[in-house]
Structure 1
Amino acid sequence: MAASAPCYLGWDFSTQQLKVIAIDEQLRVIYEDNVQFDKDLLEFGTHCGVHVQSDKRTVTSPVLMWIKALDMILEKMKSSGFDFSRVRALSGAGQQHGSVYWKEGASQILKNLSPDLPLHQLLKACFSVSDSPVWMDSSTTTQCLSLEKAVGGAQDLANITGSRACERFTGNQIAKIYSQNPEAYAQTERISVVSSFAASLFLGAYAPIDYCDASLAGMKLEEGDIAISLGTSDTLFLWIQEPTPALEGHIFCNPVDSQAYMALLCFKNGSLMRERIRDDCASGSWDEFSKALKCTVIGNNGNIGFYFEVIEITPEAVGIHRFNRDNKKVPDFPKEVEIRALIEGQFMAKRIHAEKLGYKIMPRTRILATGGASHNKEILQVLSDVFSAPVYTIDTANSACLGCAYRAIHGLVAGTSVSLVDVVKLAPEPRLVVIPNAGADQVYQPLLKRYADLEQKVLCTPVSSHLPK
């Protein structure tokens, strides 16, 4: 990096790691790093970045773990010779729905931080709740039902807010703490979501809550496209003009076009489930996992599987359910069949539920894939076949970080006529990775219908009978 060259930082406080990207004025990535919570912060005892309580529904993350991760990554940047004086702006994202509870008096500590000590030491007494509820939590059913009843029902709430009441949503988590931990609630002077919490650490003051989404910005999503993030959770983003709130999925403001909307579907059993099947069926090797996808036929000879290690969001189901070509439930599959059943099932669910929101796959539809699994070409081939659409990626799987860096540049011209689209003109276009195999659509059309029918059968299975022991 030239001595006087400005740069811009993008941060992502995600479930399993803290990530940072630096870009220059030509939007080229010049620095990239991360801190992995389970590996680099063993003292917090997390698994996949979280603590799962004994009821299997309560899922939290330590607030100080996120802060110490920031201390660590800043030290790594300093040790590498990164020149912070060149940073003109920074922006960040955080896992959705996580909430942070600042204790009375925390704002004064935040405003008077000493440069002589790390942040995690300075802020260790600043939180009334030490473990934050996160997006994987599903323990607020009572609060959800109460909220929906108060406004006239689930659909009425979706019409007002874009979503029905969901267990992981911050409002319901706050209501639970207010009800079950009134002492902690009484000691709380401010509540942040993870993204505004992260911004507060840099500001030295409480940051307001923003409503944009960096995945969408980093992927340069356009109308008609589908963005799929294949991370700890899998999320599917749709650019829409005419929102139709429903009982599944969510409608948000569009961060790129103030006149449009973004629809989102979230699937809790994403990479964690893929990693479990990789370990069980491919000796922990992604190469072996990919070989299994390549050596099995499209459609898996009619074998269909549902793989929910934790209670899923879309649909609300749990457990592993396998069906043969005759729709008979079976106890297991051969390893190669298991791997393809997992990946085909995950992508068929995404297509089915996107179409329930009114989305139609068009000839010009592009799928923009990001997240860790977007590096795996064989997984993306199944995605392309199921959706009958070409799949594109960008050079970094950390699209949320990249989107934040773009937003950092855009923030400097906020209030002018310069749009984010103008800002990202220099950014590389998404790269075509795979196209659908010939005949895939004919295989998946009947299979999609079978999957949807079998999903209803799985939903009739009591959740409690399939909770992991």
Structure 2
Amino acid sequence: MSCAANASAKKEIASIGDRTFLGLDLSTQTLKACVLNDKLEVLKEVYVNFDSELPEFRTIGGAIIDKADNRNVTVPTIMWVKALDMLMDKLMLEGIDFGKIAAVSGSGQQHGTVYWQRSAEETLKNLSSSDFLHQQLSSSFSVTSSPIWMDSSTSKQCKQLEEAVGGPEKLAEITGSRAYERFSGSQIAKVFQTKPDAYKNTEKISLVSSFLCSILLGKIAPIDISDGSGMNLLNIRTKKWDQTLLDACGPNLAEKLGQSVPSYSDVGSISRYFKERYNFNPNCRVIAHTGDNPASLMGMRLNEGWIAVSLGTSDTVFLWLKEPKSVLDGHVLCNPIDENVYMALLCFKNGSLTRERIKNKCANGSWDIFDQLLNSTPRGNFGNMGLYYDIQEILPFLQGDYRFTKNGSTCKFTSLEVEVRALVEGQFLAKRAYAEDFGIQVGQGTKILATGGASQNKGILQVLADVFNSPVYVFKEANSAMIGAGYQAKHGLLKPSMSYGDMIYNLPQPELACEPYPDAAEIYTPMVERYRSIVKDLIRK
């Protein structure tokens, strides 16, 4: 077959039933990829672990913590590029036919920033397919180490952002969040203030997601509105950068960021580098990349009426919102599926590690004994309530263990089973209280989707169902951000001819795990109000 005929055949393959879709996820510790078929079934997964497979960069947990000031947390940007080289080689070794890939999208850890050196875009456009990416892009970054979401060194810049618009409430109204140290706007402001020459020599600024997209595209990719809404710079209602906030961060920032685009946007064809080096189909489309949290929303197939609760090292709650609501606790982001609706994000640092600590203390390190203790106490725990924060919590801003009897006095629980139930109920009461602050009415058609390690524990899920007075379902697909990126690849390719809902309609539905007991509302609705009162008093102290 001639080269022309072969190219024609590949174009045809990408348009019929055996076309595939590539989803990438550049997370904190790994770069992952999945290949999905046209039915959105996973055909192959590969990953690169930064610590073990790229030891020359000396990361711990995928990051470098400054020994002189542990608030400074960065990643050598070129490490991510080299990881992509390795990932593509792994996909080749797995026998992936890149010619069948019709579209690619990706997700990246939210809030990290990448600073492209002047002339970097020209380098991207002229990459030689005979050399590795990391060899050719080694001098393309004006700031060689990217600040990431773990960085908390920007308190000064956060205060400046809030003052620029009239306070934290106003900033939350505009951008969906009050100023947070890990957010990108304050990171950019710090670079401008502490590295003015590097900022001046920066041609473009990307988020981690749009940085990955840029390499695939062969030019600087736009920031999508969903990941962009986690920067404290984007007006979540107009979907435009707020000029006052841009000016508070650095000069000419609008030019360095470029215009934001909807998350499902087709931003161009795969670059010449990938066509020549890996034989990608010339018609393969690159769909805008987004943050890992919005991608997880897609991967979990969350829609209106559902609340997703991820029970991992930290616990995360995802909510689907019709309208944005200004709150100081939590985040409102633009929805990656539909730019006319929103998503809310609630983060709780003390999740599974705290549950494990109480398991080790009360149940001899056994989850089976933990379950027996949990199930041996009645719902409501005789009025006892406990709040457990091993590390400084975000919601609420507390640290330490707090125990209360029915009459409100502080105490130490003498019963192991009371301690266990106090922990689990307290964690879910917090999640319900903060979800209600976003206007979510639990128990009125609401369904809970539980994921993460603790979602395998039936006793814990039963408490979740009772506290929220809602049925709990489980979704067994792991790596929801990576899978969500794969879904977005197809969504971006087919939109507007097929909606996201129609695209995922035939996928397996989550399985019902448990339903609330009939007296759940009677027991837990008053406990939520009691939780609010206790937290208010603790914060006041």
TM-score, length-normalised on structure 1?
0.85
1:355 to 2:436 alignment:
yes
Cα shift at 1:442:
4.1
Equivalence for 2:388: 306
Query: What's 1:238 paired with?
Result: 319
Q: Is the 8 A contact 1:16 1:232 kept in 2?
A: no
Aligned to 1:16: 29
Conserved? CA contact 1:9–1:21, under 8 Å: yes
| SS class of match (2:508) | coil
Q: Are residue 260 (structure 1) and residue 348 (structure 2) matched?
A: no
Could you say what secondary structure the match of 1:25 adopts?
coil
The correspondence for 2:146, drawn from 132, 144, 166, is: 132
- 2:120 alignment partner AA: A
Is contact 1:99–1:133 with CA below 8 Å preserved after alignment? yes
Q: Does 1:99 align with 2:99?
A: no
Query: Which residue number in structure 1 is paired with residue 75 of structure 2?
Result: 61
The within-5 A match list for 1:124-273 is 124-212=138-226, 213-231=294-312, 233-270=314-351
1:418, distance to aligned residue in structure 2 (A) = 2.4
Identity of aligned residues (%): 50
Question: CA, structure 1 residues 48+159, in 2 after alignment: closer, same or farther (shift >3 Å)?
Answer: same
Alpha-carbon displacement from aligned partner over 1:225-278 (angstroms, at most 9, x marks no partner): 212234454332222223321222232323333432222223344456556667
Contact in 2 for aligned 1:232/1:268 (Cα 8 Å): yes
Q: Which moved more, 1:105-114 or 1:388-397?
A: 105-114
**Residue 353 of structure 1, CA deviation:** 0.9
Residue segments in structure 1 that go unaligned for 5+ positions in a row? 462-469
Deviations along 1:347-402, whole A, 9 cap, x unmatched?
22221111122221133111123345444444433322322211223331222222
Structure 1: distance between partners of 2:159 and 2:198: 23
Structure 1 residues 276, 185: closer, same or farther in 2, change over 3 A? farther
Pairwise CA RMSD of aligned residues? 3.3
Whether 2:153 is the aligned partner of 1:71: answer no
Residues 200 and 455 of structure 1: CA distance in aligned 2, closer, same or farther (over 3 Å) = same
Which amino acid in the other structure matches residue 19 of structure 1?
K
Does structure 2 conserve the Cα–Cα contact (< 8 Å) formed by 1:21 and 1:29?
yes
Distance 1:184 1:289 in 2: 53
Contact kept, 8 Å, 1:89 with 1:409, in 2: the verdict is yes
Distance 2:51 2:427 in 1: 25
Deviation at 1:203, TM superposition (A): 1.6
Contact preservation (8 Å) 2:385, 2:426: no
- Structure 2 residue aligned with 1:465: none
Measured after TM superposition, the shift of residue 218 of structure 1 is 2.4
1:39 to 1:312, Cα distance in 2 relative to 1, 3 A: farther
Distance across 2 between alignment mates of 1:458 and 1:392: 34
Pick one of 79, 83, 86 that aligns with 2:100. Answer: 86
In the alignment, structure 1 residue 32 sits paired with structure 2 residue 112: no
Distance 2:421 2:54 in 1: 34
Residue of structure 2 in register with 1:120 after alignment? 134
Secondary structure (helix, strand or coil) at the match of 2:172 reads: helix
Match of 1:466 in 2: none
Deviation at 1:112, TM superposition (A): 3.0
Q: Secondary structure at the match of 2:143?
A: coil
CA–CA distance in structure 2, aligned partners of residues 198 and 285 of structure 1:
42
The residue that corresponds to 1:427 in the other structure is 507
1:459 counterpart residue number: 539
Taking the aligned partners of 2:512 and 2:313, their CA distance within structure 1 comes to 24
Equivalent residue in structure 1 for 2:485, among 398, 404, 422: 404
CA shift in 2, pair 1:57/1:269, >3 Å: farther
**In the TM superposition, what is the alpha-carbon distance from 1:28 to its structure 2 partner?**
1.6
Equivalent residue letter for 2:509: E
Residue identity matched to 2:389: Y
Matching of residues 332-343 of structure 1 within 5 Å: 341-343=422-424
CA deviation after TM superposition for structure 1 residue 79, in Å: 2.2
Secondary structure of the equivalent of 2:400?
strand
Change (3 A) 1:45 1:305: farther
Measured in 2, the distance between the counterparts of 1:120 and 1:150 equals 39
Normalised by the size of structure 2, how large is the TM-score? 0.74
Change (3 A) 1:338 1:238: same
1-structure distance, mates of 2:33, 2:193: 37
Deviates more, 1:36-45 or 1:328-337: 328-337
Residue range with higher mean Cα deviation, 21-30 or 128-137: 128-137
How many Å apart are 1:63 and its aligned residue? 2.6
- Preserved CA contact (<8 Å) 1:219 1:394: yes
What secondary structure does 1:82 align onto? coil
Deviations 1:77-114 (A, max 9, x none): 22222222221111111122111122333323323333
**Greater displacement, 345-354 / 431-440:** 431-440
Alignment-mate amino acid for residue 199 of structure 1 = C
Question: Which residue pairs with 1:367 in the alignment?
Answer: 448
Distance 2:51 2:361 in 1: 20
Structure 2 counterpart of 1:96, one-letter code: Q
For residues 119 and 274 of structure 1, what CA distance do their matches in structure 2 show? 43
Q: Note if contact 1:372-1:397 (Cα within 8 Å) is conserved in structure 2.
A: no
Q: How far did residue 30 of structure 1 move? A: 1.7
Alpha-carbon distance in structure 2 between the residues aligned to 1:285 and 1:116 = 54
Larger radius of gyration: 2
In the alignment, is the contact (CA less than 8 A) between 2:158 and 2:179 conserved in 1? yes
Aligned twin of 2:237: none
Find the aligned partners of 1:275 and 1:122 in 2 and give their Cα distance: 46
1:366-385 pair list within 5 angstroms: 366-385=447-466
**3-state secondary structure, aligned to 1:262:** strand
The Cα of 1:166 is off from its aligned counterpart by 2.0
Following superposition, the deviation at residue 340 of structure 1 comes to 5.0
Q: 1:25 to 1:287 in 2, by over 3 A?
A: farther
**CA separation in 2, counterparts of 1:184 and 1:284?**
51
